[in-house]
Amino acid sequence: MDTSVWTQDHAWAAETLESVNPATSEVIATFPVHGAAEVGAAVQRAREAAAWWAGLGYAQRRTRLLAWKSHLTRYLARLAELVHNETGKPLADAQLEIMLAIVHIDWAAKHARKVLGPRRVRSGLIAINQASLLEYQPLGVVGVIGPWNYPVFTPVGSIAYALAAGNAVVFKPSELTPAVGGWLVSSLREVVPEQPVLQLVTGGGETGQALALSGVDKIAFTGSAATAKKVMAACAENLTPLVAECGGKDALLVGADADLDAAADAAAWGGLSNAGQTCVGIERVYVAEEVYHSFLEKLAERAAAVRPGDDREADYGPMTMPAQVEIIERHIADALARGGRPVVGGLSSVSRPYVGPVILADVPEESRAVTEETFGPTLTVSPVRDLEEGVRRANDSSYALGSAVFSKNGRRALAAARSLRSGMTSVNSVIAFASVPALPFGGSGNSGFGRIHGADGLREFSRAKAITRQRMRPMADLTTLRRSDKDMNRVLQLITLLHGKRYR
């Protein structure tokens, strides 16, 4: 797809932004900076589209969304090239995130009716004269504000579920990845040409702010906790509900009985892939002390072999956002100043726009590299007595997004997984939960609130509608001004019979 179309389409825009390849600084395309008026007009158009789209019903929406999935699959190579150019990530990583997005569109399309469609529910003895119906209706227009690190997988996690639930979407991608955002919007238009059920607005934070203030029926935000607070404040103006998918400080726990090779592979990939620019990337590793040194050796060996670059053989690309490099430098410097030990790399690993792999051992828990999201290819590794202590340390964080546990003892691993406060945990792998569309995705604390993906993700973009239909007159009518004492006593007796039993 020729992305220059976006430049021509919006030649009238007063202000523009350039999308730039972070590895080569080459300009990919120019986009308008949309202000409140343009955002408001898009939301207005979306209102009409939403009514049309909701009216199509589940079956037709399913067909259209499956057609979108199929389009994305057939054009995967082109989209991956664009993701590679705009973010700098290796082509294979771009392909991987698109494949995951495809799986999510498929699931959302196929499960929307089952999860959201009308169903009868039991009315209970007290309301036995009522037929009760529950359904989940679309909200209307959903504003999606996306980040740049996974410019396909992350927004599609909201867009696909919002569309499957019957909403129209106005999407503001990060100013670093507007071309990928534009591609997604154009691709949906290929299969839904009648109405703009997915629209693109481009610009920086102010455009996002305008969308949050625009009176949409929900905002699905993915980004940092700091920005989420601003978005939430803007949403408060109209009591616009918000789902916030924010950052993480994910921990990987290694038990004494773990497969150390598998754990070291997972830590290396979870921490270093995509240059560590992954919300559910591993940033902290807690290892049972009996196996600490062997694990560290295996991890160091793997990390030392990793190389960033722009070529096809590189393991990961440049830092997409130049300003992030300073944060990474600060975290490494702070960890070393507090007595942390560099096992692989260190401050010298920073060579803009690239950051080589950095493994830091024995970093004090109060260091920034342990408490704040680094969002770079760095890992801290610390010894712990056992999995239980690992859980305690992992939970001692303002973030709670993802986590991983390695142990050959299934019962102990599951107990640890359950005790971890994070929204998602993978046992004996990393980030596996993101590839299971039936599982909800989201966190708590500084990692945000609400859920995308799965049945919870579909309900996140719906409003529950409860309907009762009176089938016959009640045995005892208590909701009338002509209520009798006899009826009241009858119901009181029934309630006592049903609920008055003592429980111990």
Minimum CB separation of residue 202 from ligand NDP in Å reads 8
Residues 6+ apart with CB under 8 A from 349: 332, 355, 356, 357, 358
Contacts with ligand NDP, 107-146, as mask; x by CB under 6 A: --------------------------------------xx
Which of residues 174, 380, 403, 426 is near ligand NDP by CB under 6 A?
174
Q: Output the 3-class SS for 241-264.
A: CEEEECCCCEEEEECCCCCHHHHH
Which of residues 97, 175, 334, 372 is near ligand NDP by CB under 6 A?
175
Count the site residues for ligand NDP by CB under 6 A.
31
The candidate with the shortest Cα–Cα distance to 71, out of 196, 188, 194, 178, is 188
Name residues contacting ligand NDP, limited to 250-289 (CB under 6 A).
279
Residue among 85 and 274 whose Cβ is closer to ligand NDP: 274
Check binding of 383 to ligand NDP (CB under 6 A). Answer: no
DSSP 472: S
Only segment of 5-13, 18-26, 148-156, 254-262 that touches ligand NDP (CB under 6 A): 148-156
Check binding of 212 to ligand NDP (CB under 6 A). Answer: yes
Which of residues 3, 19, 87, 149 is near ligand NDP by CB under 6 A?
149
Check binding of 214 to ligand NDP (CB under 6 A). Answer: no
Active site residues: 245, 279
Check binding of 150 to ligand NDP (CB under 6 A). Answer: yes
Which of residues 30, 167, 199, 222 is near ligand NDP by CB under 6 A?
222
Give kind and range of the element (H or E) at residue 317.
none
Check binding of 216 to ligand NDP (CB under 6 A). Answer: no
Check binding of 208 to ligand NDP (CB under 6 A). Answer: yes
From the CB of residue 373, how many other CB atoms can be counted at a distance below 10 Å?
25
DSSP 348: G
Question: How would you classify residue 17: left for phi > 0, otherwise alpha for psi between -120 and 50, otherwise beta?
Answer: beta
Give kind and range of the element (H or E) at residue 75.
none
In degrees, to the nearest 5, what angle opens at C-alpha 223 toward C-alphas 330 and 283? Answer: 45
CB 355 within 8 A of CB 325: yes
Contacts with ligand NDP, 293-332, as mask; x by CB under 6 A: ----------------------------x-----------
CB 276 within 8 A of CB 475: no
Catalogue the E-assigned strands of 190-281: 198-200, 218-222, 242-245, 250-254
Residues that bind ligand NDP (CB under 6 A): 145-150, 154, 172, 174-176, 204-205, 208-209, 212, 222-224, 227, 230-231, 245-248, 279, 321, 373, 375, 401
